[in-house]
């Protein structure tokens, strides 16, 4: 294992995490008293209350809906449970700000003159697109529980309902908890929906501090709080996820089909409740998008504008995808080939940025651009750097898996045939990793297309993507003009969502 691979891995991780590091540097430049005053101000207390309340309410609702649906789909004899499973996962394809646009524009149709905004509106909208993050892992975990254990409990004299609560649910609990915490992270980090629906949370305040005259100390202080908050939840989430995978490895897996509770006369209320929830989450934004998009594309000139934004989105997504993947490759090979302490630390560092609030990364890169990398400010490169920070974990996961599946014996064979290590990596390991790298690249691309806050803050003047156009038009309540962008965004976001759903369906078989 050559030293230069370790150096390269450190370098790429460093580049990707540079903005976060710089945020720390900037925070440290203020006198501690000023900084603390900004952190513990009355304003941040108000923001914290709103952020945490929204997070708590949405998370609890997501847990109730997600676990309820998962149990119905995987563990009861509910008729049509397979279609329910697919439908319940579909809201995953709706970015939160698209859902906010959908609900708001629907409200405009149904009761013109009223406004759809505030805490309650945000709760409904964000819950409707976030609960799949509980539903999918909960359903997967419930399917994984070894039926032999339930049979053992039944043979020990427990009834079916008792067995379900004392054995089945207990084992799915870590996965469910981890899903709930993921929801919490998404709510804390969400920018688009809370901004459209005008709820004053941390993310919205950070963005405002950037766009209005730029209150730097305030922005940095709020960003730091947001960052710490997300990381705390992330660490806890990681712990539960590990417990969940540990449970999954006990037992030889499901040989017999899972035990199902007979639903009997509860079928009707269960069906109404489940389909009612799922259809509300899908149909409201769906109908709004269809109606407004039809009106939108009949406006002259709109197709050219949509086409231009679409090309811009693809271009910036391809750049972001390529840069992030390039940074991920040396790190992935290093992690897979040398499970040393340094490799583990780098991996953990890289995952630290997983689902960080886009506004925090955006703000950090903006500050980097106006004070250090001044030559790059207002160029595409800073935007790409922000994408790298945000998306590195997405590209890293598949790349590490690919590097692990390429046997190191092949590298040794190449070296024994007279090739230096670098050539062995380039000609043997890299081609074998190509499918994994490719799927990571695609995932990053599609996520970049959806990304809103960092794109808004860092795009060069006059450069518009699908997401920024949607944002601008929604802000003016130009719903018809906004809708075609929303439709395209949902179509693109549906691809990774469908991959997640099909993985679940495969597991069910």
Partner 1 sequence: MSPAGDSGTLQLTGISHRYGAHQVLHNVTLECPAGTATAIVGPSGSGKTTLLRTAAGFLTPSQGQVMLDGTDITSRPAHRRSIGLVSQDGALFPHLSVGRNIGFGLPRGQRGGSRIGELLDLVSLPADYADRRPDQLSGGQRQRVALARALGRRPQIILLDEPFSALDAGLRERTRKAVQKVLRSTGTTALLVTHDQDEALSFADSVAVIQEGTLRQAGAPENIYNLPADLATARFLGEAVVLEGQVSAGWAECALGRVPLRNESPTGFVHLLLRPEQIEVTEPEQGILGLVLDADYFGHDTTAVVRLHGSQEEIRVRQLNTQPLEPGETIGLRVTGAAVAYPPGGH
List contacts with partner 1 (CB under 8 A). 407, 409-410, 412-421, 424, 427-428, 431-432
Question: What Å distances lie between residue 264 and 64, 78, 100, 165, 480, CA to CA?
Answer: 22, 9, 38, 19, 46
The minimum distance between CB 414 and partner 1, in angstroms, equals: 7
Least separation in angstroms between CB 10 and partner 1 = 22
Measure the CA–CA gap between 148 and 162, rounded to whole angstroms: 16
Output the smallest distance, CB 432 to partner 1, in A.
Answer: 6
Taking the C-alpha atoms of residue 88 and residue 69, their distance in angstroms, rounded to an integer, is 8
Residue 376 beta carbon to partner 1: minimum distance, rounded to whole angstroms? 38
Q: How far is CA 194 from CA 37, 41, 125, 433, 477, in A?
A: 26, 21, 9, 40, 16
The Cα–Cα gap between 163 and 147 comes to 11
Residue 10 or 432: the one with the smaller Cβ distance to partner 1 is 432
Closer Cβ to partner 1, 50 or 414, answer by number: 414
Cross-strand pairs, 261: 76
Q: Which residue number, 375 or 418, has a Cβ lying nearer to partner 1?
A: 418
Helix axes of 132-144 and 169-189: crossing angle, nearest 10 degrees = 160
* CB of 42 or CB of 409, closer to partner 1: 409
Minimum CB distance to partner 1 smaller for 421 or for 472: 421
Smallest Cα–Cα separation from 465: which of 481, 477, 449?
Answer: 449
Smallest distance from the beta carbon of 419 to partner 1, in angstroms?
A: 5
Minimum CB separation of residue 406 from partner 1 in Å reads 9
The three-state secondary structure class of 387 is helix
Closer residue to partner 1 in complex, CB, 218/436: 436
Alpha carbon distance 402, 407 (integer Å): 10
User: Is the CB of residue 206 less than 8 Å from the CB of residue 223?
Assistant: yes
Q: Which is nearer to partner 1, 293 or 332 (CB)?
A: 332
**CB 400 → partner 1: shortest distance, Å?**
19
φ, ψ dihedrals at 261, nearest 5°? -80, 135
């Amino acid at each position: 294992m050559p030293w230069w691979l370790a150096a390269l891995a450190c370098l790429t991780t460093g580049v990707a995490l540079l903005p976060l590091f710089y945020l720390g540097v900037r925070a440290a430049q203020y006198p501690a008293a000023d900084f603390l005053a900004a952190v513990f101000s009355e304003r941040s207390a108000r923001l914290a209350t709103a952020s945490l309340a929204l997070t708590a309410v949405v998370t609890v609702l997501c847990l109730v809906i997600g676990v309820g649906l998962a149990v119905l789909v995987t563990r009861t004899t509910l008729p049509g449970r397979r279609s329910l499973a697919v439908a319940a996962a579909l809201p995953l394809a709706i970015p939160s700000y698209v859902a906010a646009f959908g609900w708001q524009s629907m409200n405009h149709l149904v009761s013109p003159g009223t406004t759809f905004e505030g805490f309650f509106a945000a709760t409904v909208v964000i819950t409707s697109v976030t609960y799949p993050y509980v539903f999918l892992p909960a359903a997967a975990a419930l399917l994984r529980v070894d039926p032999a254990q339930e049979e053992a409990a039944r043979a020990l004299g427990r009834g079916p309902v008792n067995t379900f609560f004392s054995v089945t649910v207990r084992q799915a609990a870590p996965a469910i908890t981890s899903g709930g915490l993921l929801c919490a992270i998404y709510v804390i980090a969400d920018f688009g929906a809370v901004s459209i629906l005008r709820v004053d949370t941390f993310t919205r305040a950070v963005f405002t501090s950037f766009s209005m005259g730029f209150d730097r100390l305030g922005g940095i202080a709020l960003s730091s709080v947001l960052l710490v908050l997300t990381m705390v939840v992330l660490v806890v989430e990681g712990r539960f996820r590990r417990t969940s995978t540990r449970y999954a490895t006990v037992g030889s897996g499901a040989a017999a089909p899972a035990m199902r509770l007979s639903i009997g006369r509860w079928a009707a209320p269960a069906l109404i409740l489940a389909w009612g929830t799922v259809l509300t989450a899908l149909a409201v934004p769906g109908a709004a998008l269809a109606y407004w998009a039809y009106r939108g594309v009949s406006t002259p000139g709109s197709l050219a504008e949509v086409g231009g934004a679409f090309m811009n989105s693809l271009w910036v997504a391809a750049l972001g995808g390529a840069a992030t993947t390039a940074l991920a490759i040396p790190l992935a090979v290093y992690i897979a080939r040398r499970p040393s302490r340094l490799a583990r630390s780098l991996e953990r560092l890289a995952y630290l940025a997983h689902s960080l609030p886009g506004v925090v990364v955006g703000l950090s890169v903006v500050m980097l651009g106006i004070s250090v990398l001044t030559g790059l400010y207002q160029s595409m490169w800073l935007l790409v750097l922000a994408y790298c920070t945000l998306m590195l974990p997405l590209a890293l996961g598949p790349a590490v898996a690919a590097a692990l599946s390429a046997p190191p014996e092949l590298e040794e064979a190449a070296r024994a045939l007279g090739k230096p290590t670098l050539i062995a990596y380039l000609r043997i390991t890299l081609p074998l990793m190509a499918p994994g790298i490719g799927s990571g690249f695609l995932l990053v691309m599609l996520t970049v297309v959806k990304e809103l806050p960092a794109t808004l803050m860092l795009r060069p003047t006059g450069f518009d993507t699908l997401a920024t156009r949607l944002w601008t038009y929604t802000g003016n309540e130009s719903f018809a003009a906004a809708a075609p962008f929303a439709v395209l965004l949902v179509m693109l976001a549906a691809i990774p969502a469908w991959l997640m759903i099909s993985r679940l369906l495969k597991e069910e078989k």
